[in-house]
């Protein structure tokens, strides 16, 4: 999530609901900034899943996260470069 304050302000029930029902604890939920800054653990293994729940905003956080993911992938020589023209093809039904 972006921030606990934002979750409460926006009444994001996908997070508040499980917490209020006791199925999830705030201690188990970390803010995306904490994870990206290394202040909170991310996944411990490839079998774990990280969920970024954010029902508000303009998507700016996706650009920041993707830039960091790309930098790490390039450092570790992971992934594949996808041709730009794959995204420029115009199709219609």
Give, in order, the Cα–Cα distances in Å from 66 to each of 15, 25, 50, 69: 23, 28, 14, 5
Of 7, 2, 20, nearest to 59 by C-alpha is 2
Q: Say what the pTM is.
A: 0.48
The reported pLDDT for the residue numbered 54 is: 67
* Sequential DSSP letters for 27-89: GG---HHHHHTTSS---SSTT--------SS-SHHHHHHHHHHHHHHHHTT-S-PPPGGGGT-
Kindly give, in sequence order, each residue whose CB lies less than 8 Å from that of residue 25, ignoring residues fewer than 6 positions away. Answer: 19
**How do the pLDDT tens digits run along the chain, 93 residues long?**
668 888 888 888 888 999 999 998 988 888 888 888 889 888 889 898 887 776 666 677 788 888 999 999 999 999 988 888 888 877 665
């Amino acid at each position: 999530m972006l921030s606990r304050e934002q979750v409460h302000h926006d009444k994001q029930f996908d997070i508040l609901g499980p917490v209020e029902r006791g199925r999830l604890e705030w201690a188990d939920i970390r803010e995306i900034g904490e994870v990206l800054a290394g202040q909170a653990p991310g996944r411990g293994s490839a079998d774990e899943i990280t969920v970024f729940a954010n029902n508000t905003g303009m998507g700016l956080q996706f650009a920041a996260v993707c830039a960091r993911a790309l930098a790490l992938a390039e450092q570790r020589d992971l992934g594949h470069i996808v041709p730009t023209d794959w995204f420029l093809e115009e199709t219609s039904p």
